[in-house]
Structure 1
Amino acid sequence: MHRRRRTVLVLSAAIAAAAPLLTACGSQAHPGAAAVVGGQRITVEQLESRVNEVRAAQRAAMKDEAQYEQAIARTGGLTRDTLHGMVLDKVLDRAAKDAGVTVTRKDTQQMRTALEQQAGGAKALEAAWLQNYGVAPARLDDSLRTEIEAQKLAAALGANMNTTEGKATFWKALSTASRQLHVDLNPRYGAWDVQKSSRVDAKTPWLREITAAQTQQPA
């Protein structure tokens, strides 16, 4: 599924390839909030609920306690990575709205059907997304919608994600949206980097995997 991942995960690729100059923001305290985006709170309770969904799915997928412990070890940064995704979804939504981009339920279903065929069925796709990206089965459609939105945004911007210039164009749109939304993370979860639309300490394995896949495979 590497070729499909390279195609659909343009958002992650753009983040991984963003410029190295950092401008961090988001240090104000917001009691009970994991982050504030566009004046809207992502509460600690909401974040923990998302994380618990993934942990419950991992436990259900593992045959024994040892496998479950291994899964936890592989996803030790799950809480921060989950918050990163929740914030980035809102940033992407803003950038897409500014560009006049919309995603329909039909778009999501078509992508899911195609991926299920490649993976060998719905359960296989859900298992792959859980293992590789920490996405609980109940959130799979949301995850696919995000990737479609990123694809459409890149197309609307005329950004070829296989080129440095295209990635820079895409990243600039996310950076602009991030500044407009005044993203503010609770310090316990890191800091938000306006220039990269990413957490300063966000160096997750799946980002490296996608970057490697882009490098190894032709367009």
Structure 2
Amino acid sequence: MSTATRRRTLTRAAGAAVLAVLLTACGNSLAGKALVVGGTSVDDAEIAELTEEVRDVYAAYPKDFAAVGASFDEGTVVSTNVNRLTRHLLLLEAAAREGITVTQGQIDTSIRTALENQFNGSQTLLDVTLAAQQQAPPSATSEVVYDFLVLQALAEKLKPADPATAPVNEYLVDLAAELGAEVSPRFGVWDAESISLTPVPDDLSVLPNLAPTE
């Protein structure tokens, strides 16, 4: 490992550690934990690490972020990932209950299709796009695609007679209430009706871009 690479690694690790300490110190509710869904929790340290990953992508490709009107905002990255992981845990439970299976092969196919059709085969371009538009770091790409595919399958299974209804949202709202989904208030206000952390928008709304083509 070169001296420069070692320095970047140490700096990143130190930054993540400092951010984790600051997050924990911001409030006593769910001390050390960013969110809890049922019996599963996500620690502040994981959120800090994800935030540092996005920071790394931005540091490497600031012009690409600027090209889509994005920049690095730590508060937005933190809250968006808290929101995403809360919904991810809900979707994991929904998939288990409804018998929905999403394999790694399906995830890989979706990513490969997106790379070929939308990103000129460039993994870097996909990574930068997800980081800039959804604040999702490269390590979360499979989770992001998994959530989208589960949402698709859940929507198909719960398809209502009246297309004006939103059965998936209703299902997830009820599930969140049943499991006692809780987000530490230092990250924002958890809106039970929209199953999202306000004012962060639903980052899954742009995922059709990752859907495999027929």
Specify if TM > 0.5: yes
1:184 aligned to 2:182? yes
Equivalent residue letter for 1:136? P
Q: In the alignment, what sits opposite 1:154?
A: 155
What's the offset of the Cα at 1:33? 1.3
User: What is the alpha-carbon distance in structure 2 between the residues aligned to residue 148 and residue 84 of structure 1?
Assistant: 18
- Contact 2:80-2:134 at 8 Å conserved across structures: no
In angstroms, what is the RMSD of aligned CA positions?
A: 3.0
- Contact 2:57-2:128 at 8 Å conserved across structures: no
The 1:183/1:28 distance shift into structure 2, 3 A limit, reads farther
Q: In the alignment, what sits opposite 2:173?
A: 175
User: What is the alpha-carbon distance in structure 1 between the residues aligned to residue 201 and residue 143 of structure 2?
Assistant: 22
The 1:85/1:116 distance shift into structure 2, 3 A limit, reads same
Q: Residue by residue, what CA displacement relative to the aligned partner does 1:9-35 show, whole Å, maximum 9, x if unpaired?
A: xxxxxxxxxxxxxxxxxx982221112
User: What is the alpha-carbon distance in structure 1 between the residues aligned to residue 28 and residue 52 of structure 2?
Assistant: 26
Equivalent residue letter for 1:147? F
- Classify the secondary structure of the residue corresponding to 1:196: coil
Identity of aligned residues (%): 22
User: What is the alpha-carbon distance in structure 1 between the residues aligned to residue 51 and residue 35 of structure 2?
Assistant: 15
Q: In the alignment, what sits opposite 1:49?
A: 49
User: What is the alpha-carbon distance in structure 1 between the residues aligned to residue 130 and residue 29 of structure 2?
Assistant: 33
1:102 aligned to 2:104? no
Higher relative contact order (CA 8 A, sep 6+): 1
1:36 aligned to 2:61? no
- Classify the secondary structure of the residue corresponding to 1:143: helix
The 1:52/1:148 distance shift into structure 2, 3 A limit, reads same
Alignment of 1:42-191 (within 5 A): 42-62=42-62, 71-73=71-73, 76-118=75-117, 119-121=119-121, 122-158=123-159, 163-165=163-165, 168-191=166-189
- Classify the secondary structure of the residue corresponding to 1:199: strand
User: What is the alpha-carbon distance in structure 2 between the residues aligned to residue 159 and residue 110 of structure 1?
Assistant: 29
Q: Residue by residue, what CA displacement relative to the aligned partner does 1:168-212 show, whole Å, maximum 9, x if unpaired?
A: 1111111121112101121111222222211233237x67x84xx
Equivalent residue letter for 1:128? T
**So what's the TM-score if we normalise by structure 1?**
0.70
Computing the radius of gyration from Cα coordinates, the structure with the larger value is 2
- Classify the secondary structure of the residue corresponding to 2:71: helix
What's the offset of the Cα at 1:164? 2.4
User: What is the alpha-carbon distance in structure 2 between the residues aligned to residue 63 and residue 199 of structure 1?
Assistant: 29
Gap regions ≥5 residues in structure 1: 1-26, 214-219
User: What is the alpha-carbon distance in structure 1 between the residues aligned to residue 42 and residue 105 of structure 2?
Assistant: 28
Equivalent residue letter for 1:36? V
The 1:63/1:154 distance shift into structure 2, 3 A limit, reads closer
Aligned residue pair count = 177
Runs of 4+ in structure 1 over 4 Å off: none
What's the offset of the Cα at 1:80? 0.8
What's the offset of the Cα at 1:62? 2.8
More moved, 182-191 vs 81-90:
182-191
**So what's the TM-score if we normalise by structure 2?**
0.72
- Classify the secondary structure of the residue corresponding to 1:42: strand
User: What is the alpha-carbon distance in structure 2 between the residues aligned to residue 79 and residue 114 of structure 1?
Assistant: 29
Q: In the alignment, what sits opposite 1:21?
A: none
